[in-house]
Amino acid sequence: MPLIKEEHLHDAAILTKAVENVFRKLIRFLVGRISLVKLQEMIRFIYVEEAERNIRAENPGKNVPLTRLALITGLDTRTLRHVKRKLVLEGEIYKQQFLKDLTPESAIVEAWADQINLAGRGSTTRSVLTYGNENSEFDSLVRSTISTRGITTHSIIKRLLATNSIEQDKSKKTLRLMVDQFSPYLSNDEPNIVNAAFSAISNLISTIEYNVNSPNDQKMFQRQSWTFRLKPGDQMKFRETMGQFLRKADKLARQKIRPWERDEYGTDLITAGIGLYYFEDM
Protein backbone atom coordinates (compact mmCIF):
# COMPACT_ATOMS: atom_id res chain seq x y z
CA MET A 1 0.00 0.00 0.00
CA PRO A 2 1.62 3.33 -1.04
CA LEU A 3 2.57 5.71 1.76
CA ILE A 4 1.19 9.25 1.84
CA LYS A 5 4.05 11.63 1.19
CA GLU A 6 5.06 13.86 4.07
CA GLU A 7 4.60 17.01 1.98
CA HIS A 8 0.96 16.09 1.38
CA LEU A 9 0.41 15.77 5.13
CA HIS A 10 2.18 19.06 5.61
CA ASP A 11 -0.08 20.76 3.05
CA ALA A 12 -3.15 19.29 4.73
CA ALA A 13 -1.96 20.52 8.11
CA ILE A 14 -1.43 24.04 6.76
CA LEU A 15 -4.91 24.12 5.22
CA THR A 16 -6.52 22.73 8.39
CA LYS A 17 -4.76 25.26 10.60
CA ALA A 18 -5.69 28.15 8.30
CA VAL A 19 -9.36 27.11 8.18
CA GLU A 20 -9.41 26.65 11.96
CA ASN A 21 -7.95 30.12 12.48
CA VAL A 22 -10.61 31.75 10.28
CA PHE A 23 -13.48 29.68 11.71
CA ARG A 24 -12.40 30.31 15.30
CA LYS A 25 -12.55 34.09 14.88
CA LEU A 26 -15.81 33.87 12.95
CA ILE A 27 -17.42 31.60 15.55
CA ARG A 28 -16.14 33.80 18.37
CA PHE A 29 -18.08 36.61 16.74
CA LEU A 30 -21.21 34.51 16.15
CA VAL A 31 -21.55 33.13 19.69
CA GLY A 32 -24.83 34.44 21.08
CA ARG A 33 -26.01 35.61 17.65
CA ILE A 34 -26.70 32.22 16.07
CA SER A 35 -26.88 28.83 17.78
CA LEU A 36 -24.40 26.05 17.04
CA VAL A 37 -27.24 23.84 15.79
CA LYS A 38 -28.36 26.43 13.23
CA LEU A 39 -24.79 27.22 12.19
CA GLN A 40 -24.14 23.53 11.53
CA GLU A 41 -27.39 23.31 9.56
CA MET A 42 -26.49 26.38 7.50
CA ILE A 43 -23.00 25.05 6.70
CA ARG A 44 -24.41 21.67 5.70
CA PHE A 45 -26.95 23.18 3.29
CA ILE A 46 -24.46 25.63 1.76
CA TYR A 47 -21.86 22.87 1.33
CA VAL A 48 -24.36 20.65 -0.47
CA GLU A 49 -25.44 23.54 -2.74
CA GLU A 50 -21.85 24.41 -3.65
CA ALA A 51 -20.86 20.77 -4.17
CA GLU A 52 -23.83 20.31 -6.49
CA ARG A 53 -22.90 23.49 -8.38
CA ASN A 54 -19.33 22.21 -8.76
CA ILE A 55 -20.49 18.88 -10.19
CA ARG A 56 -22.89 20.62 -12.60
CA ALA A 57 -20.05 22.83 -13.86
CA GLU A 58 -18.03 19.71 -14.67
CA ASN A 59 -20.97 18.04 -16.45
CA PRO A 60 -23.26 20.77 -17.88
CA GLY A 61 -26.79 19.70 -18.70
CA LYS A 62 -26.60 16.46 -16.71
CA ASN A 63 -28.28 15.51 -13.46
CA VAL A 64 -26.12 15.34 -10.36
CA PRO A 65 -25.85 11.73 -9.10
CA LEU A 66 -26.54 11.44 -5.37
CA THR A 67 -23.69 8.95 -5.08
CA ARG A 68 -21.23 11.53 -6.45
CA LEU A 69 -22.67 14.18 -4.14
CA ALA A 70 -22.36 11.77 -1.20
CA LEU A 71 -18.71 11.13 -2.05
CA ILE A 72 -17.85 14.84 -2.05
CA THR A 73 -19.90 15.86 1.01
CA GLY A 74 -19.38 12.78 3.17
CA LEU A 75 -23.16 12.61 3.78
CA ASP A 76 -25.26 9.53 3.14
CA THR A 77 -27.85 9.65 0.35
CA ARG A 78 -30.77 9.68 2.82
CA THR A 79 -29.44 12.84 4.48
CA LEU A 80 -28.79 14.41 1.08
CA ARG A 81 -32.38 13.79 0.03
CA HIS A 82 -33.56 15.50 3.22
CA VAL A 83 -31.33 18.52 2.61
CA LYS A 84 -32.40 18.86 -1.03
CA ARG A 85 -36.07 18.58 -0.06
CA LYS A 86 -35.67 21.40 2.46
CA LEU A 87 -33.92 23.68 -0.01
CA VAL A 88 -35.73 22.82 -3.25
CA LEU A 89 -39.25 21.71 -2.40
CA GLU A 90 -39.97 23.90 0.64
CA GLY A 91 -37.92 26.85 -0.63
CA GLU A 92 -38.68 30.22 0.95
CA ILE A 93 -40.97 28.73 3.61
CA TYR A 94 -38.07 26.76 5.05
CA LYS A 95 -35.67 29.71 4.84
CA GLN A 96 -38.11 31.96 6.71
CA GLN A 97 -38.49 29.38 9.48
CA PHE A 98 -34.70 28.97 9.61
CA LEU A 99 -34.27 32.71 10.23
CA LYS A 100 -36.90 32.67 12.96
CA ASP A 101 -35.10 29.85 14.79
CA LEU A 102 -31.52 31.15 14.55
CA THR A 103 -31.34 31.23 18.35
CA PRO A 104 -33.58 29.91 21.13
CA GLU A 105 -34.51 33.52 21.94
CA SER A 106 -35.67 34.22 18.40
CA ALA A 107 -37.89 31.13 18.42
CA ILE A 108 -39.45 32.20 21.74
CA VAL A 109 -40.08 35.78 20.61
CA GLU A 110 -41.62 34.50 17.38
CA ALA A 111 -43.96 32.16 19.26
CA TRP A 112 -44.85 34.91 21.74
CA ALA A 113 -45.58 37.41 18.96
CA ASP A 114 -47.79 34.82 17.24
CA GLN A 115 -49.84 34.45 20.43
CA ILE A 116 -50.29 38.23 20.61
CA ASN A 117 -51.41 38.37 16.99
CA LEU A 118 -53.96 35.62 17.60
CA ALA A 119 -55.31 37.45 20.66
CA GLY A 120 -55.38 40.79 18.83
CA ARG A 121 -52.78 43.55 18.88
CA GLY A 122 -54.67 45.69 21.38
CA SER A 123 -54.86 42.86 23.90
CA THR A 124 -52.49 42.86 26.89
CA THR A 125 -53.43 39.33 27.94
CA ARG A 126 -50.60 37.78 25.89
CA SER A 127 -48.11 40.66 25.63
CA VAL A 128 -47.51 40.44 29.41
CA LEU A 129 -46.59 37.01 30.79
CA THR A 130 -45.86 35.86 34.33
CA TYR A 131 -42.56 34.14 35.10
CA GLY A 132 -40.66 32.59 37.98
CA ASN A 133 -42.06 29.06 38.42
CA GLU A 134 -42.87 25.99 36.36
CA ASN A 135 -46.54 26.92 36.03
CA SER A 136 -45.92 30.53 34.94
CA GLU A 137 -46.93 31.64 31.46
CA PHE A 138 -43.44 32.48 30.22
CA ASP A 139 -41.96 29.22 31.48
CA SER A 140 -44.75 27.30 29.74
CA LEU A 141 -44.09 29.23 26.53
CA VAL A 142 -40.39 28.36 26.68
CA ARG A 143 -41.04 24.65 27.27
CA SER A 144 -43.55 24.48 24.40
CA THR A 145 -41.25 26.32 21.96
CA ILE A 146 -37.72 24.97 22.39
CA SER A 147 -35.84 22.04 23.86
CA THR A 148 -34.93 23.27 27.34
CA ARG A 149 -32.18 20.74 27.94
CA GLY A 150 -29.29 22.80 29.32
CA ILE A 151 -31.20 26.09 28.86
CA THR A 152 -32.76 27.95 31.79
CA THR A 153 -35.54 30.51 31.61
CA HIS A 154 -33.32 32.82 33.68
CA SER A 155 -30.63 32.81 30.96
CA ILE A 156 -33.25 33.47 28.27
CA ILE A 157 -34.76 36.36 30.22
CA LYS A 158 -31.30 37.84 30.75
CA ARG A 159 -30.58 37.68 27.02
CA LEU A 160 -33.94 39.18 26.05
CA LEU A 161 -33.41 42.04 28.52
CA ALA A 162 -29.92 42.71 27.15
CA THR A 163 -31.32 43.10 23.64
CA ASN A 164 -34.26 45.28 24.77
CA SER A 165 -36.71 42.63 23.58
CA ILE A 166 -38.68 42.61 26.84
CA GLU A 167 -39.44 44.71 29.92
CA GLN A 168 -39.29 43.07 33.32
CA ASP A 169 -41.38 43.92 36.39
CA LYS A 170 -39.64 42.13 39.24
CA SER A 171 -42.24 43.12 41.82
CA LYS A 172 -45.12 41.61 39.82
CA LYS A 173 -42.98 38.85 38.29
CA THR A 174 -44.10 39.74 34.76
CA LEU A 175 -42.44 40.21 31.38
CA ARG A 176 -43.72 42.41 28.56
CA LEU A 177 -42.76 41.77 24.92
CA MET A 178 -41.45 44.97 23.31
CA VAL A 179 -40.59 43.77 19.78
CA ASP A 180 -42.19 41.90 16.90
CA GLN A 181 -39.07 39.85 16.21
CA PHE A 182 -35.86 39.10 18.08
CA SER A 183 -32.65 40.88 17.11
CA PRO A 184 -29.40 39.44 18.52
CA TYR A 185 -27.61 42.78 18.23
CA LEU A 186 -26.91 44.74 21.39
CA SER A 187 -26.89 48.22 19.82
CA ASN A 188 -28.82 50.01 17.08
CA ASP A 189 -25.68 50.47 14.99
CA GLU A 190 -24.48 46.88 15.25
CA PRO A 191 -26.56 45.35 12.41
CA ASN A 192 -25.05 47.78 9.90
CA ILE A 193 -21.55 47.20 11.29
CA VAL A 194 -22.01 43.43 11.07
CA ASN A 195 -23.40 43.62 7.54
CA ALA A 196 -20.45 45.75 6.38
CA ALA A 197 -17.96 43.44 8.10
CA PHE A 198 -19.30 40.27 6.49
CA SER A 199 -19.55 42.02 3.13
CA ALA A 200 -15.83 42.86 3.39
CA ILE A 201 -14.99 39.27 4.35
CA SER A 202 -17.05 37.97 1.41
CA ASN A 203 -15.30 40.33 -1.01
CA LEU A 204 -11.85 39.25 0.18
CA ILE A 205 -12.72 35.56 -0.16
CA SER A 206 -14.04 36.20 -3.69
CA THR A 207 -10.68 37.76 -4.61
CA ILE A 208 -8.78 34.84 -3.08
CA GLU A 209 -10.99 32.32 -4.89
CA TYR A 210 -10.41 34.11 -8.20
CA ASN A 211 -6.63 34.33 -7.68
CA VAL A 212 -6.30 30.66 -6.76
CA ASN A 213 -7.89 29.64 -10.07
CA SER A 214 -6.28 32.28 -12.35
CA PRO A 215 -2.92 32.43 -14.15
CA ASN A 216 -0.32 34.79 -12.68
CA ASP A 217 -0.79 37.50 -15.29
CA GLN A 218 -4.53 37.72 -14.53
CA LYS A 219 -4.57 37.68 -10.73
CA MET A 220 -6.28 40.56 -8.91
CA PHE A 221 -4.20 42.77 -6.63
CA GLN A 222 -4.12 41.27 -3.11
CA ARG A 223 -1.67 42.48 -0.47
CA GLN A 224 -1.26 43.06 3.25
CA SER A 225 1.37 45.22 4.95
CA TRP A 226 2.18 44.64 8.61
CA THR A 227 4.85 44.43 11.27
CA PHE A 228 5.32 41.90 14.06
CA ARG A 229 7.84 44.10 15.88
CA LEU A 230 5.51 46.76 17.31
CA LYS A 231 6.05 47.82 20.94
CA PRO A 232 2.84 47.66 23.04
CA GLY A 233 3.40 51.24 24.12
CA ASP A 234 3.26 52.39 20.49
CA GLN A 235 0.04 50.53 19.65
CA MET A 236 -2.41 53.42 19.90
CA LYS A 237 -0.15 55.88 18.08
CA PHE A 238 0.50 53.33 15.33
CA ARG A 239 -3.26 52.67 15.04
CA GLU A 240 -3.95 56.39 14.73
CA THR A 241 -1.23 56.86 12.08
CA MET A 242 -2.45 53.94 9.99
CA GLY A 243 -6.03 55.19 10.34
CA GLN A 244 -5.07 58.61 8.99
CA PHE A 245 -3.32 56.97 6.04
CA LEU A 246 -6.29 54.71 5.28
CA ARG A 247 -8.74 57.62 5.38
CA LYS A 248 -6.63 59.45 2.80
CA ALA A 249 -6.41 56.29 0.68
CA ASP A 250 -10.18 55.84 0.93
CA LYS A 251 -10.79 59.40 -0.25
CA LEU A 252 -8.41 58.92 -3.18
CA ALA A 253 -9.99 55.57 -4.10
CA ARG A 254 -13.46 57.14 -4.25
CA GLN A 255 -12.11 59.86 -6.55
CA LYS A 256 -10.60 57.19 -8.84
CA ILE A 257 -13.80 55.12 -8.88
CA ARG A 258 -16.21 57.98 -9.58
CA PRO A 259 -15.38 58.45 -13.33
CA TRP A 260 -16.14 54.76 -13.93
CA GLU A 261 -19.60 54.81 -12.37
CA ARG A 262 -22.77 54.85 -14.45
CA ASP A 263 -25.36 57.49 -13.60
CA GLU A 264 -28.13 54.94 -13.11
CA TYR A 265 -28.38 51.51 -11.50
CA GLY A 266 -29.02 48.46 -13.67
CA THR A 267 -29.28 44.70 -13.31
CA ASP A 268 -26.54 44.24 -15.91
CA LEU A 269 -23.97 46.22 -13.89
CA ILE A 270 -21.34 44.66 -11.61
CA THR A 271 -19.90 45.53 -8.23
CA ALA A 272 -16.15 46.14 -8.07
CA GLY A 273 -13.73 48.10 -5.91
CA ILE A 274 -11.02 47.83 -3.27
CA GLY A 275 -11.04 47.14 0.47
CA LEU A 276 -9.22 49.11 3.17
CA TYR A 277 -8.97 48.07 6.80
CA TYR A 278 -6.60 48.17 9.73
CA PHE A 279 -6.00 44.98 11.72
CA GLU A 280 -4.30 43.68 14.84
CA ASP A 281 -3.82 39.98 15.49
CA MET A 282 -5.74 39.46 18.75
List, as one string, the DSSP characters of 42-80. HHHHHHHHHHHHHHHHHSTTS---HHHHHHHH---HHHH
The pLDDT value given to residue 1 = 46
- How confident is the prediction along the chain (282 residues), in pLDDT tens digits per residue? 455 566 667 777 888 888 898 899 889 888 888 888 888 988 998 899 899 999 999 888 888 889 999 999 999 989 998 888 877 766 555 565 665 556 788 888 888 888 887 776 555 557 899 999 888 999 998 888 877 667 788 888 988 998 888 999 999 999 999 987 777 766 666 766 776 778 888 889 999 999 998 999 999 999 999 999 999 999 999 999 999 999 999 999 989 988 998 877 677 888 899 999 999 987
CB 160 within 8 A of CB 109: yes
| CB within 8 Å of 204: residues ≥ 6 apart | 275
Amino acid 99: pLDDT:
57
Task: Name the packing angle between helices 104-119 and 91-100 (round to 10°).
Answer: 100
Considering the entire predicted model, what is its pTM? Answer: 0.62
Q: Where are the alpha helices (DSSP H) in the chain?
A: 6-30, 36-58, 66-73, 77-84, 91-100, 104-119, 137-145, 153-162, 190-212, 235-257
The three-point CA angle 248-254-256 to 5° equals: 105
What sign does the dihedral 31-37-42-43 (CA atoms) show? positive
d(CA 92, CA 241): 47
Secondary structure (3-state) at 41: helix
The distance from CA 196 to its chain's CA centroid, rounded to whole angstroms, is 12
